[in-house]
């Protein structure tokens, strides 16, 4: 959709599908999935360097011309997230950040208090902050006011594949937002991604639905088509839903 | 002096810098970031930032995730 770019913080992306790299069984599988997804922006996590001297994921993204988006996955407090963000900026030479501050391991839901605190600190420090947030219109508005470049509400908890559990909240976030809304987390299959776009989201971020699918490359292709289809449907202006049937053929002449 | 380098104890000559610690780990110098005692050390200061005995040095890089 070259004529309909996604614009985040003044930067244009031709693809509205943001990918994560977690969960892929190996780099060759990941590479095929990323190509099939057509993504231009893809998340990576920050971890201790192991003895093998790196994982190769950065080299892969560079080779494919995909912009890496470091995240703060695993951080539980604003202080941890800010430190991880600064390390990511040093390592990857980018000030873009997917901000994640989770409350507990069981739900992996964002901690709203710590999230907003971290967002404020990182915006002040010059980061382009894309926060993973709850499907809460109030919190989304506060994150935008704090200077975040996008808001990324969850459809359902990370890795559950439960889709979008509260579509109305997503619609309310979209209606109020002045920055791009990226549906992040919970996508299970292509119809979930299409629904996100139909609800008015500007993009979809997903990982598990593709990387843990039986055929990641094929599912990545499906997600690409779903995001495009949903975007077109959202722009096309759907018909109103009505209670009773409404014939699409002319009435039969009974005279 | 003794360091905690990515959680493992290491012996390095006194007066070693952050850059020396990275070399001791055999780490690449691109795509990595360093924290000493939880403070990020910018790349420009690696060669001059002297480590103290008992310092905790973390060397991080990007991995699959998110």
Going residue by residue through chain A, which has 255 residues, state the pLDDT in tens, using 9 for 90 and above.
Answer: 558 999 999 999 999 999 999 888 889 999 999 999 999 999 999 988 875 555 688 889 999 999 999 999 999 999 999 999 999 999 999 999 999 999 999 999 999 999 999 999 999 999 999 999 999 999 999 999 999 999 999 999 999 999 999 999 999 999 999 999 999 999 999 999 999 999 999 999 999 999 999 999 999 999 999 999 999 999 999 999 999 998 889 888 887
- Per DSSP, A51 falls in state T
In this complex, the residue of A22, A87, A92 whose CB is nearest that of residue B64 is: A22
CA B55 to chain CA centroid, Å, is 9
Beta strands B2-5 and B8-11 are antiparallel
Distances (CA, A) of A10 to A5, A127, A201: 11, 14, 18
Chain A residues with a Cβ under 8 Å from any Cβ in chain B: 20-24, 30, 43-49, 51, 53-55, 57-58, 68-71, 73, 83, 86-92, 98, 100, 207
Look at residues A146, A205, A135 and name the one whose alpha carbon lies nearest to residue A178: A146
Q: What ipTM was estimated for this complex?
A: 0.87
Judge: A49–B60 Cβ closer than 8 Å, yes or no: yes
3-class secondary structure, B30: coil
Provide the annotated active-site residues of A: 98
The answer to whether the CB atoms of B65 and A100 lie below 8 A apart is no
Task: Pick the residue from chain B with its C-alpha nearest to A71.
Answer: B66
A18 burial class (0-12, 13-18, 19+ CB within 10 angstroms)? buried
Q: What is the 3-state secondary structure (H, E, C) of A121-139?
A: HHHHCCCEEEEEECCCHHH
């Amino acid at each position: 959709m070259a004529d309909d770019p996604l614009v985040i913080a003044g930067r244009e992306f031709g693809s509205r599908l943001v990918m994560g790299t977690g969960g892929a069984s190996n780099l060759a599988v990941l590479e095929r999935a990323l190509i099939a997804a057509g993504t231009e922006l893809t998340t990576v996590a920050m971890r201790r360097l192991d003895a093998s001297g790196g994982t190769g994921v950065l080299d892969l993204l560079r080779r494919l011309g995909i912009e890496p988006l470091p995240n703060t996955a695993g951080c539980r407090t604003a202080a941890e997230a800010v430190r991880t963000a600064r390390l990511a900026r040093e390592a990857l030479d980018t000030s873009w950040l997917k901000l994640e501050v989770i409350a507990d391991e069981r739900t992996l839901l964002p901690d709203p208090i710590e999230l907003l605190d971290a967002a404020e600190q990182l915006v002040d420090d010059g980061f382009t902050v894309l926060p993973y947030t709850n499907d809460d219109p109030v919190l989304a508005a506060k994150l935008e006011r704090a200077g975040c470049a996008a808001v990324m509400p969850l459809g359902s908890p990370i890795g559950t594949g439960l889709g979008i559990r509260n579509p109305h909240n997503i619609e309310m976030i979209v209606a109020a937002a002045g920055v791009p809304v990226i549906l992040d987390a919970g996508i299970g299959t292509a119809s979930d991604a299409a629904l996100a776009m139909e609800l008015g989201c500007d993009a979809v971020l997903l990982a598990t639905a593709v990387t843990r699918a039986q055929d990641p490359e094929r599912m990545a292709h499906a997600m690409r088509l779903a995001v495009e289809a949903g975007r077109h449907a959202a722009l096309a202006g759907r018909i109103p839903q009505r209670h009773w049937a409404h014939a699409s053929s002319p009435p039969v002449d009974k005279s | 002096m003794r360091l905690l380098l990515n959680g493992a104890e290491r012996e390095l000559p006194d007066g070693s810098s952050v850059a020396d610690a990275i070399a001791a780990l055999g780490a690449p110098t691109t795509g990595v970031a360093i924290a000493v005692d939880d403070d990020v050390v910018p790349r420009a200061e690696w060669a001059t930032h002297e480590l103290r005995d008992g310092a905790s040095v973390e060397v991080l890089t990007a991995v699959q995730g998110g």
